[in-house]
Amino acid sequence: MFFVKTSSEDIPMEVNSLVTASIKDSFLITPVVLQAAAPIAALIAVSLPITDRQIPVASIRARRPLILNLSIASGLPTPKVFIINDSAPNAFATGRDPQHAAIAFTSGILDKLTKQELEGVAAHELSHIGNFDTRLMTIVSILVGTVALAADFFLRISFYSNRDRDDNRSNGIFMILGLVMALLAPIVATLIQLSISRKRELLADASGVIITRNPDALADALEKISKDKEPLEVANKATAHLYISDPLKNQKNAIGWFANLFNTHPPIAQRVKVLRAMQ
């Protein structure tokens, strides 16, 4: 089934209710999970089924066998497929497990990539589904938030407990330790989260190649996507890690291992190099 993004004014109440219900049916329901899922829900909620009257699309219908064939090759259930009406080429997958998964392609990626390149992208996204990456990153996000809360809690406890002591020197040491932990713990946890995100992208690249047996197709697709400088309008920092390539197109030209620590994706050049070596 294919869907297309429409304006928010056209969204019926039933769609929002359906999205909310599907999120609440998740594997682990806490306020943190619901908050983390909100950007995804907002994106999916503005996606409605394409009717025959809405489609000028022989091209879109031609993509249906592509997804079906890749699903069969990967041994995964065929996911729902959404189309985001944006000319920036990109794609992402979401879903807590293969039975409740969806892939979204922008209209730009459908227009700008060849069939083989699109197969590489679709296989990459199917690999995210098969590797349970959305579930993993949700758990990691919860743990990062827990670390931040624990660090803040430790700082407050140390402040109030030390306030009643007479030893000013000990009070100062505990306050400094609490402040350092409160500052560093969330940063370290976030760096670990970003590192996991980069590793999962590389794993999805490799897993996608196992499905298609065509590493050059995905490498060519990544090069095309990276050369397109148009940012994806519906993307934000909270959802950037979901996409096959950085949708914000941050043109900082930062080089080196330190700059890469804060990226959600490995450098395109590194990914392409690894893919070209898979012959």
Strand partners, 63: none
User: Does residue 27 contact residue 73 with C-beta atoms inside 8 Å?
Assistant: no
Alpha-carbon distances, residue 15 vs 25, 42, 55, 195, 270 (angstroms): 15, 11, 20, 35, 40
> How many other CB atoms are found less than 10 A from the CB of residue 166?
6
What is d(CA 144, CA 192) in angstroms, rounded to the nearest whole number? 9
Report DSSP state, residue 252. -
Q: Quote the radius of gyration of the chain (alpha carbons, Å).
A: 22
Catalytic annotation on 9?
Answer: no
Q: Residues 9, 125, 201, 230: which is the catalytic one?
A: 125
**Smallest Cα–Cα separation from 132: which of 73, 204, 74, 194?**
204
- Active site positions, annotated: 125
